[in-house]
Every structure is written in C-alpha cells, then in structure tokens.
Chain A
Amino acid sequence: MQMTDYKPKIVAFCCNWCSYAGADLAGNNRLSYPAEVKIIRVPCSCRVNPTFILRAFQRGADGVIICGCHPGDCHYTSGNYFARRRMALLFSMLDYLGIERERTRVEWVSAAEGAKFAATMNDFVSTVAALGENRRLEDLRCKK
C-alpha cells in the first residue's frame, strides 16, 4: 500500500448546536480541513449510540470522532455528560479488545471554535492516516 495514495475515511458525529455550527464557521472563515472527514449531524453528542461507532468501523471507516458542546454548555443541559461516560467506557473496551485507541476520539468544539474544529480534524486525519487502514474492525463483506 502506498501511503501517498491512501486517504483515510473519517466519520465525524457533530452535535447540531455546537460542533456542527463550529464546522460551519470553519467553512465561513475559509479554514481548510481534509475532505476525507464526513460529517453526520446529530441532535446531541448523547445521541451517538455505541452501535453507530461500531457500525461505522464495520462499514469501512478508519476513524470515528465525536464532537459535542463543551461540558456544561450542552443545549439539553446534560447530554454530553452522559456521552462522556459512555464513550470513556466504550473506548476503553475497544482498547481492551486490541483496537487502536487513536482511531476514536471525543472533542468538545463550540459554535465559536471554527479554528479549533479545523485544527482537530487536521490532527485527527493525520493521526489515523499514520495508523493506516482499519483492518481490525472492518467487515470484509462490506468491502465487496
């Protein structure tokens, strides 16, 4: 595999109220972040079911990132606190099963942090690109 041709597939779950607006701001400000990042808008970071993450990996994603409002700033008061607990346990479990921890990440990005959004995505994509293709979680049937 030639690294130069390799472009990782990244799925980003962004909460409607903060991070999705943050991504919008990054666009408005002409800040560039890799086109490999596919954003899925969710009502709240708490909406992200662990199955979504596993499913994304199964269908060929190389990395999954969840972005939500900063703790304390959730539009629904406490959604991101619950998401934080769930993801902490899920990531630890994936690590326990021998799946690279760098492929999953949670980042808190507010609507005003367009620059942080772009920087986070650039950093995450390069981290995942360095790891290479996700082979441990993929389902080969989905690659046909």
Chain B
Amino acid sequence: MQKITEDLARRRAAELMRAGEISCLLGWKKGEFDYDVEPTVFYTPEEVERELVCNVFSAANLSKYLISLTRKAEGRVGILLKPCDSFSFNQLLTEHRFDRERVYALGLPCEGTVDTFLLKERVGEGIYSIKIKDGALEVETLSGEVKEIPLSEVYAERCLVCKSRRPVAYDEMLGEVTPDADEDRFAQVEKLESMTAEERYAFWQGELSRCIRCNACRNVCPACSCERCVFDNPTSGVETKAPSEDSFEEKMFHIIRAFHVAGRCTDCGECSRVCPERIPLHLLNRKFIKDINSFYGDYTAGAEVGSRAPLVSYTKDDPEPGQGGQK
C-alpha cells in the first residue's frame, strides 16, 4: 500500500514537472536515517524519482512552507498533502497566506505516521535500517539483530485519534481515501479535566518545566505563521532562553502560544511531534478546541476555506466566562 502510493507520487510529480505544470515540489526525503524523513523542495524530476519518500515516516506537515515558497518560486508549486495537512492548507488559505492559483496539491491517502520516539523506545537500541512491510516495520539494529515491530504499536497518538482522513483540499488525489480512525480525540483532555486541580497542576508543572524554549513548537506550527512573533520582541518580557526551575515563564509561553492559535489550530499535532522533550503540547490546543466546540458550537479549523474563526466572531448569548459553558 505504502509502496504503491510512493511510486505513484514519484511518477505523477515527475510527470507534472516535466510537463511544466509545476516548477518545484514540496515533499519529503530521507534524512540521515530511515526514520528521520525530512521536508524538502525538489526542483528536478530526476530528484523526485530518486529521492521522494512517502511512507509512515513522512510526518511533517508541509503546508506552512507554501508561504515562503510561493513567494520565491516561479510558476506553480507542487505539494503533497496528507489529509491532516489539507486542513492546515485550507486554514492558511482562509488567512490569505498564499495564492491558491500558485499551488498544485497532490492529495495522499494516510493510514497514520510513526512516532519515532516510541519506535526508538520499542527497539531499545540503535536503529541501522528500517524496511516497511504490510502492517509492520522490519528494523535492523546496530548489533545486527532484526526485529519486527507491528505498526499498530508505534503509530503516533495524533494518528490514532485523527480527526479525519478525508482530505479537504487537493487538485488530484493519489490513491483511495482511507477510513477514519474511530477513537475519541478528546479522551485525554477529559481524563485531565476529571483530575483535581492539584493533580492537574502537578501534571502540567512536570511537563512544562522540561521546556527548553527551543521554539520548535512555534516554528513548526502552520497556524503560528506571523512574520514578527510576540516572543521575538526583546521587550515583550518573555524570556527567550530556558527559564529557571521556579519560574512561570514556560507556562506563560505555552499558554500564550496555545491561545494565539486558538480557533485556528487544526489539531495536526506537529507541536508535540517536534518537541525534543516530548511535552504533550497538543493537549493544550485540544483543550481550546474542545471548549470552543462546547461553548460556541462545533467548529473545525480548515474544514472549509473562508469560515470565520470563533475568536473573531461572537453571538449575543455566548456563555459567561468562568461558568464552564453555562449561559
């Protein structure tokens, strides 16, 4: 399945490039190891045919790169969009961040991506190479041992509770749409909500105090696409380096970061994927999504182009603050 999609994507993208339909392609290629597949821009069809990777490790959401690439590149830009990325794509269009006419989107089917932290933990030692088989990964370790690991055990959490596998934006679809995941994506948020205030505080203190302020969560987020960020302002009062243990900085940073994308976050889960400290940052964003849904009616950012985000609109009978959605 994966192999078929990859072959199809390589062939079709190279075809489009040769026909002059697209001048470059946003895709993924293998990094140093088989599991660190990284985003890249291809400029020649030969590169595409040789290096394009579309598999369970092609996790990065590429839509944000369109902002800079459509300004820089000539002609149309090709992009590969997983279903979850297509929501971010639409959200960026809603915010007029790039010109739809300049983009040719190839939709990809998706069955989930692998959490590489989880995979490394599961393997337990250095990974030399990985072969992707049907439903499993054949991992060769540095000591020469070969381990077979079922994909279902290493899928990223965000993929297990994925909001939708039906792409909402594409010019052409490569392959068949895969069935939706059936787990409740708010289960973890609800679990936290059911704890006492002390337990919640202890949980977040433990998680957020690990933050090293590398800004990866901000830089990767397709909703965080301001050219000048409040956190880059030296007089904003928010430290730019990792704070001391007893400080409030990291909480401040993460509350504001989540608040700035509230109502625009498509829950793609990139913030948690790139966090080197494995802080479940998406749980903050998902709390906002859950609250918005329960206070102001169901809303999915990026489901359609041009929808009005909940925080830039209002109704006269909104619930009062602090009453948990009661009017």
**Chain A residues in the interface with B (C-beta under 8 A):** 50-51, 54-55, 57-58, 71-72, 78, 81-82, 84-101, 104-106, 136-141
Contact-size category for B: 35 or more
Question: Which chain B residues in 256-290 approach chain A with CB under 8 Å?
Answer: 256, 258-259, 262, 284, 287-288
B320 located at the interface, meaning its Cβ lies under 8 Å from any Cβ of chain A in the complex: yes
Q: Return 23 A-B CB contacts under 8 Å, by A number.
A: A50-B255, A50-B256, A51-B252, A51-B256, A57-B248, A71-B316, A81-B314, A81-B315, A84-B314, A88-B291, A89-B291, A92-B287, A93-B259, A94-B255, A96-B192, A97-B251, A98-B198, A98-B200, A98-B202, A100-B197, A104-B322, A139-B246, A141-B247
What residues of A have a CB within 8 angstroms of the CB of B203 in the complex? Answer: 98
What residues of A have a CB within 8 angstroms of the CB of B247 in the complex? Answer: 139-141
B232 located at the interface, meaning its Cβ lies under 8 Å from any Cβ of chain A in the complex: no
Tell whether, in the assembled complex, residue B199 and residue A85 are in contact, meaning their CB atoms are under 8 Å apart.
Answer: no
B249 located at the interface, meaning its Cβ lies under 8 Å from any Cβ of chain A in the complex: yes
Which residue on B lies nearest to A57, using beta carbons?
Answer: B248
B279 to chain A: closest CB distance in Å? 13
Q: A88-B322, A89-B292, A106-B321 are in contact. Are A97 and B256 (CB under 8 A)?
A: no
Tell whether, in the assembled complex, residue B322 and residue A98 are in contact, meaning their CB atoms are under 8 Å apart.
Answer: no
What residues of B have a CB within 8 angstroms of the CB of A93 in the complex? Answer: 255, 258-259, 284, 287-288, 291
B74 located at the interface, meaning its Cβ lies under 8 Å from any Cβ of chain A in the complex: no
Q: A85-B314, A106-B320 are in contact. Are A95 and B197 (CB under 8 A)?
A: yes
B187 to chain A: closest CB distance in Å? 15
B144 located at the interface, meaning its Cβ lies under 8 Å from any Cβ of chain A in the complex: no
Interface hub of B201, B247, B262, B314 (most chain A Cβ within 10 A): B314
Report the 5 A-B pairs with minimum CB-CB distance, sorted nearest first: A98-B201, A98-B200, A81-B314, A87-B321, A139-B248
Q: Mark B151-173, 1 if CB is under 8 A from A, else 0.
A: 00000000000000000000000
A81 to chain B: closest CB distance in Å? 4
B104 located at the interface, meaning its Cβ lies under 8 Å from any Cβ of chain A in the complex: no
Question: Which chain B residues in 109-132 approach chain A with CB under 8 Å?
Answer: none
Tell whether, in the assembled complex, residue B249 and residue A139 are in contact, meaning their CB atoms are under 8 Å apart.
Answer: yes
B172 to chain A: closest CB distance in Å? 38
B305 to chain A: closest CB distance in Å? 22
